A and B are shown apart, each in its own frame.
Chain A
Amino acid sequence: MVALVQLADDISNHLMRGEPPERYDIRTRDLWQTVRHYLTEDEDAASAHVGRTACQVAQCTEQALN
């Protein structure tokens, strides 16, 4: 739960700063180390999946808020 909220908080901070959703890069954040435990053992595939999902979610959220 903590990792999930951290991730959501981080994406939200990114959007609140007015930065484009597509520039959000989960790989650059330490929290990735925690988030990946929720996922598969294939780190590269998991990283790509989370990165894609985070961008999609960020875009959906921005559209909803606007």
Chain B
Amino acid sequence: MLVFGKQPTAPISPAELWQRAGMQKHLPTLPAAASRAIQIANDPKCEIADFVSALETDPALTTDILRVANSPLYRLGKPVATLSQAVVRLGLKECRNLVLTVGFYSLFRKTPPTQKKACQMLWSHLFQTAKLCRLLNHCLDLGFDGEEFTCGLVHDLGRLLFVFALPSRLGELDRFDFCEQDGSALLEHERYIAGTDHCQLGAWFATINPIARVDGQLRGVSSPASTGR
């Protein structure tokens, strides 16, 4: 675990932060079945049966997906009882987003108990941003084809990674007040405390972990230059 003094932390790479925090063997990953299903769904020639088969290897994931598919957010008409019905009802791309959502949410279950409240707020923000991306894409006819949901969902992945890497400093790093009018100051503050910022951390993580590579988009979304932060 890192120990900080009152002086600013010297700049370090995200990889070094992760290593110093003793997290190198604890990379948060999507459930294997979710990763496989997303990989299948990303193939334009994929078969629905293959997508469903990949998911069915994980009963807990299957249950979660059906529960969300039958929630008021997605439910249209009669409830769906099987994954195949969910794909037929919602479409493959929407199911892919659903798998990613459920898989990504499972990461939040692994966060330290003391940070549950902060993580719940962060999750609400990420999921809300993903849904807004989808709705704006539709309303403004921007032409994206599902990848906008993914980008919205993972755009603040670096903030979640700070929860894992520096739980004891989270209160100083992130107040979760969602006041980001001065993004540069926010990132500067993070670098003062941790030696790196959540954009760098998220972009680095995308290079080593398939969570953020599902659409190959995260680096563009989370890099400080592209966000203007």
A residues whose Cβ falls under 8 Å from a Cβ of B: 1-2, 4-13, 15-17, 30-31, 38-39, 49-50, 53-54, 56-58, 60-61, 64-65
**Known contacts A9-B155, A56-B139, A65-B124; is-contact A2 B129 (Cβ 8 Å):** no
Does A5 contact B125, Cβ atoms closer than 8 Å?
Answer: no
A12 to B179, CA, bound (A): 11
If over half of A's interface residues share one DSSP class (helix, strand or loop), that class is named, otherwise mixed; here it is helix
If over half of B's interface residues share one DSSP class (helix, strand or loop), that class is named, otherwise mixed; here it is helix
Could you say which residues of chain B place their CB within 8 Å of the CB of A61? 128, 131-132, 135
Does A57 contact B178, Cβ atoms closer than 8 Å?
Answer: no
Does A2 contact B221, Cβ atoms closer than 8 Å?
Answer: yes
Interface centre among A12, A57, A58, A64 (most CB of B within 10 A): A12
A41 to B44, CA, bound (A): 34
Could you say which residues of chain A place their CB within 8 Å of the CB of B220? 1-2
Interchain nearest-CB distance for B29 vs A (Å): 23
- The 10 A-B pairs of least Cβ separation, nearest first, read A8-B132, A16-B178, A13-B178, A12-B129, A8-B133, A12-B128, A53-B139, A57-B135, A8-B129, A2-B226
Does A53 contact B136, Cβ atoms closer than 8 Å?
Answer: yes
Q: Which residue of B lies closest to A53 (CB)?
A: B139
Q: Which residue of A lies closest to B122 (CB)?
A: A16
A13 to B126, CA, bound (A): 10
Interface centre among A30, A57, A61 (most CB of B within 10 A): A57
Could you say which residues of chain B place their CB within 8 Å of the CB of A53? 136, 139-140
Q: Which residue of A lies closest to B131 (CB)?
A: A61
Could you say which residues of chain A place their CB within 8 Å of the CB of B12? none
Does A9 contact B129, Cβ atoms closer than 8 Å?
Answer: yes
**Known contacts A4-B148, A6-B227; is-contact A38 B128 (Cβ 8 Å):** no
